[in-house]
Amino acid sequence: MEWLLSAGVWAFVSVPAIIALYLLRRRATRHEVPSLLLWQRTESAREASKPFQKLRKQWLLILQLLLAALLSLALLRPALPGVTRGEAALIFDLSASMQASREGRTRLEQAVEDAVSLVDGMKEGDAVTIITAGSTIGQVLSRSTDKQKIRAALKGLRAENGTADLDAALSLAKAMQQDLQSLFIVVYSDTYTTGDHGVEVRTAGMGVDNRSILSLRCSPREDELSAFARIANYGAAADISMECYADGTLMDVRALSLAEGQEASVQFSVPRDARLVWVALTTPDALEADNIRFWAAQQRRERRVLLVTRGNIFLEKALALRQDTLVFKATAADAGGMEGYDLVILDGESPASLPAAGSLLALAPNREVWGITPGIASDSPGKLRAESNQLARELTRNLPLSGMALRAYTPLTGGQSALIMGNDTLLATAELDGRRAAVIGFDLHDSNLPMLADFPILMQNLMDYLLPEAVGAVDAMFCGQPVNIAPDEQAVERQVITPGGRAAPVEGTVFTDTGEIGVYALREARADGSLRITPFTLHMAPSEADVRHVAAPAISDRREQAGRQGAGRELTVFLLLAALLLSMAEWEVSRRGA
């Protein structure tokens, strides 16, 4: 037998109090009468028909004492052996799949209900820590012994729209366990499994059927846009209904039959000038968060480019291929102020100072550029190849890198290498306060590169890197992930309007407030009063859509866990029920006695 609230022992003071009241109650007044003969005969005749005469005066006292004892025992909160003991760390999976519902209850709600029951079964004074794993790791409550506060924190948990890093959350709890040997860890999740000792995984919910829109892409086609939606059926064969909207106008309604586990593409036609398109599933399923998908059109913004050169027809033609750039030419002597440009290209020219804003492309410089330093000129032959990093792959995308010859070059040191010849770096990049720079270690006139098909491709790749769109491609991004922002250097105010209409400030080049599903809008205001709005969309992680299965619950070390928690049942409710029945009996005895 366990006593969860030892402080309840004070309630037993009521037992001697009741006895004292009986001892101190007012006694009958004595009166002298001539005779009791007639009264005794009458009383004897009446009492003879009642059983248990000798106990009549003790029944009320006994019942009241039993009632006080039962209520006192109830305050002690007795329970069978096996209830939770010691400190607990409760880890909650807040990924999107925890929103999956069955019979009106989500997986997270079921997990919270189980956790509340676990907390109620703990002794008074046992501490609880609540850790959440969503887009970030959070510690909602730290070693709290206030059960009311713990319950409120549990019921305030909300599932997010992204994924969950439960390994990181478990690492935090394991670090606490090193200092608290009595700490036991419980993980509430629908998919997580672990082999760590002393960790119990409690499965939330059951497998349910679900349908999901995996992607939505739009591409121009003659005088219209073609919207392609990819639909997946995670469950039994079903008939699915969907709607397509363009700028708020319903364009089409479709019905689709999908077998279990099948995926299919559905094409919709929308006006070519549509700025916002979305497709929604109207057939109810277990997870609403993946039943809608948005697409927002993004226009390339016009960029101002300053070309500082004595004359380079190859560069001028390559820059003219882009429709979103406005190119200005100047010599190093005439360049003077190089401010107000999105990109400055230094073609062998070396001005006294580098621009303080915008990106920078330097070809065969004779000075250090953002930590990239030219070395001693060389004419060693070799084969040009790309480095193995991700940026190098982007800069050399669609480049064959064959047939190129150099008469002379200057190897570079510093920055991130992208193109190399032998052990020498010929193209390096660097970033400074959100600005980007690329340095090429040779003069175009000392190579045959301008005569190859590689040159315009390389220049376009470099321009894409140096003049990124305001919001990078988010097709592969989802809620909870940071989004890279390429800010307008001329903007004096910058903020993102979330799908819920909240204005979130943008600091630096990364936007992290990405928890909502829907359309975001990057608003950039310049000093001249002009305002540029760039929309982008974020959705639920597709990996969270398949909720047909849940992981099996597990206790990694059953002997260790058995000493801390089990199937013990609290007996308080049964004692209260007995006290209620006893109080009714006491009332009846009191009434009859009266």
For every residue of 222-277, DSSP letters joined together read TTEEEEEEEEEEESS-EEEEEEEEETTEEEEEEEEEE-TT-EEEEEEEEETT-SEE
Residue 513 pLDDT greater than 80, yes or no: yes
What mean pLDDT comes out for the span 294-316?
Answer: 83
Number of C-beta neighbours around residue 155 at 10 A: 12
Higher pLDDT, 160 or 357: 160
Q: Given this model, what pLDDT does residue 577 score?
A: 81
Cβ–Cβ < 8 Å for 516, 498: yes
Cα separation, 312 vs 450, in Å, equals 10
Residue 94 pLDDT greater than 60, yes or no: yes
> 409-438, pLDDT tens digit by residue?
899 999 999 988 888 899 999 988 778 899
If pLDDT is split at 50, 70 and 90, which confidence band does 51 have? very low
- Rounded to 5 degrees, φ, ψ at 269 are -105, 130
Helix, strand or coil for residue 385? Answer: strand
Q: What is the DSSP letter of 2?
A: E
> 562-574, pLDDT tens digit by residue?
444 444 566 777 7
Report the Cα 207 to chain-centroid distance in Å: 22
Residue 54 pLDDT greater than 50, yes or no: no
What mean pLDDT comes out for the span 358-377?
Answer: 87
What mean pLDDT comes out for the span 161-180?
Answer: 91
Q: Given this model, what pLDDT does residue 358 score?
A: 81
What mean pLDDT comes out for the span 354-375?
Answer: 86
What mean pLDDT comes out for the span 527-545?
Answer: 88
Cβ–Cβ < 8 Å for 171, 187: no
How is residue 345 written in tokens? 């290209």
How confident is the prediction for the chain on average, in pLDDT? 83
Q: Given this model, what pLDDT does residue 575 score?
A: 76
What DSSP element (H or E) covers 91?
A: strand 88-93
Cα separation, 559 vs 557, in Å, equals 6
Mean pLDDT check: name the lowest of 43-57, 112-126, 490-504, 508-522: 43-57
- Alpha-carbon Rg for the chain, nearest whole angstrom, is 39
Helix, strand or coil for residue 315? Answer: helix
Helix, strand or coil for residue 167? Answer: helix
The full length of the chain comes to 594
Residue 470 pLDDT greater than 90, yes or no: no
Cβ–Cβ < 8 Å for 113, 157: no
Higher pLDDT, 337 or 556: 337
Cβ–Cβ < 8 Å for 500, 513: no
Mean pLDDT check: name the lowest of 46-60, 90-104, 201-215, 466-480: 46-60
Cα separation, 133 vs 170, in Å, equals 9
Strand partners, 519: 537
Residue 229 pLDDT greater than 90, yes or no: yes
Helix, strand or coil for residue 69? Answer: helix
Cα separation, 558 vs 198, in Å, equals 8
Residue 49 pLDDT greater than 60, yes or no: no
If pLDDT is split at 50, 70 and 90, which confidence band does 287 have? very high
Cα separation, 319 vs 317, in Å, equals 5
Which residues, 6+ apart, have CB-to-CB distance to 129 below 8 Å? 87, 88, 89, 90, 139, 141, 142, 143, 144, 173, 176
What mean pLDDT comes out for the span 380-389?
Answer: 82
Q: Given this model, what pLDDT does residue 566 score?
A: 44
Cα separation, 104 vs 100, in Å, equals 10
Higher pLDDT, 591 or 548: 548
- How would DSSP label each residue in 494-561? EEEE-TTS-EEE--TTEE----S-EEEEEEEEETTS-EEEEEEEE---GGG---S--PPPEES-HHHH
Residue 401 pLDDT greater than 60, yes or no: yes
Write the CA distances from 551 to 52, 95, 452, 538, integer angstroms: 64, 15, 56, 28
Residue 133 pLDDT greater than 90, yes or no: yes
> 256-284, pLDDT tens digit by residue?
999 999 999 999 999 999 999 999 999 99
If pLDDT is split at 50, 70 and 90, which confidence band does 288 have? very high
Q: Of the ranges 42-51, 331-340, 412-421, which is most confident?
A: 412-421
Q: Of the ranges 88-92, 319-323, 529-533, which is most confident?
A: 88-92
Residue 363 pLDDT greater than 60, yes or no: yes
Cα separation, 162 vs 136, in Å, equals 10
Mean pLDDT check: name the lowest of 138-147, 268-277, 287-296, 339-348: 339-348
> What interhelical angle do 107-120 and 147-155 show, nearest 10?
170
What DSSP element (H or E) covers 491?
A: strand 491-497
If pLDDT is split at 50, 70 and 90, which confidence band does 454 have? confident
> For the chain, which domains are there?
2-80+573-593 (no CATH), 88-207+549-568 (3.40.50.410), 210-277 (no CATH), 303-466 (3.40.50.880), 483-538 (no CATH)
Residue type, 330: A
Query: Which one, of 502, 504, 484, lies nearest residue 494 by Cα?
Result: 504
In terms of DSSP bridges, do strands 359-363 and 435-440 run parallel, antiparallel, or are they unpaired?
A: parallel
Q: Given this model, what pLDDT does residue 561 score?
A: 46
